[in-house]
Amino acid sequence: MIQEAVKSSSNSFIMLRAMVGIGVLCGFLIVVAYEGTLPRVQRLKAEALEAAIFNVIPGTTQTKTFNWDGESFTPAKAGDSPLVYAGFSDSGELAGVAIEASGQGYADIIRILYGYDPERQQIIGFYVLESKETPGLGDKIEKDQHFLDNFTAMDVSLTDAGEIANAIIPVKSGAKQHAWEVDGITGATISSRAIGNILAESTAEWIPRIFNHKSAFKQGNQ
């Protein structure tokens, strides 16, 4: 009896030692890998966002980040949110404003960036920042040229009351008739409809704000 008890306690110790030892070793490896890749991951993500801003606002040569504090847009400081990204052309004129939006897709949350031109009152560009949509089907929202053409001159003009005249609505593939409709993709119905809904929700909130405060978007370095 006594001997058995001794044996099992030493067994427990060996098991504990092995598990704790492996746990510590694995924890150490993960921390090293995380710390080692972090600077590069952050730089790549910032670069990807910067590239996306240039992508959704054609003609941009310089960008500047602004923060919405509830009443007005001010140049963003570190840690501010929510943010919008203003793009300026060579001559220093506002080329457009890039806005980030997200919503539920088919597989997971889809994060997108879209460009808005307050002069023409149109959405002028669209880019998927992050999505886990089914490869080969749902991910056509990133690649299908016909779908992306929806967002080169999409009407989001405001009424006199300051609301969007025609809310963005997703329609079936090939059924697009107006500049505020999103033509869907066959085989990616849910994903393409999700994009339309995300845009509708985000534009209803942000477009009136940006349009009414468009004078706030000035290049900061004067």
Partner 1 sequence: MSSGTNHTEAKSTDEFIKGLWKENPVFVQVLGMCPVLAVSNTAENALAMGLATAFVLLMSNTLVSLLRNFIPKEVRIASFILIIATFVTITDYAIQAISVDLHKSLGAFISLIVVNCLILSRAEAFASKNTLGKSILDALGMGLGFLFALFCLGAVREILGNGTFFGLALFPDTFQEWIVMILPAGGFFTLALWLLIFNLIKQRKEATA
Closest CA to 203 of 112, 131, 87, 135: 112
6 scored as a contact of partner 1 (CB under 8 A): no
CB 187 within 8 A of CB 137: yes
Bridging pattern class, strands 169-171 and 181-183? parallel
Those residues whose C-beta lies under 8 Å from the C-beta of residue 129, and which sit 6 or more positions away, are 48, 49, 52, 100, 111, 112, 113
Stretch that binds partner 1, among 44-52, 83-91, 116-124, 190-198 (CB under 8 A): 44-52
d(CA 47, CA 219): 20
Binding residue for partner 1, selected from 21, 82, 162, 220, defined by CB under 8 A = 21
109 scored as a contact of partner 1 (CB under 8 A): no
CB 56 within 8 A of CB 114: yes
Binding residue for partner 1, selected from 6, 9, 29, 92, defined by CB under 8 A = 29
20 scored as a contact of partner 1 (CB under 8 A): no
Binding residue for partner 1, selected from 7, 9, 44, 69, defined by CB under 8 A = 44
Under the rule (CB under 8 A), what is the footprint of partner 1?
11, 14-15, 18-19, 21-23, 26, 29-30, 33-34, 36-37, 40-41, 44-45, 47-48, 107-108, 130-132, 135-137, 139, 187
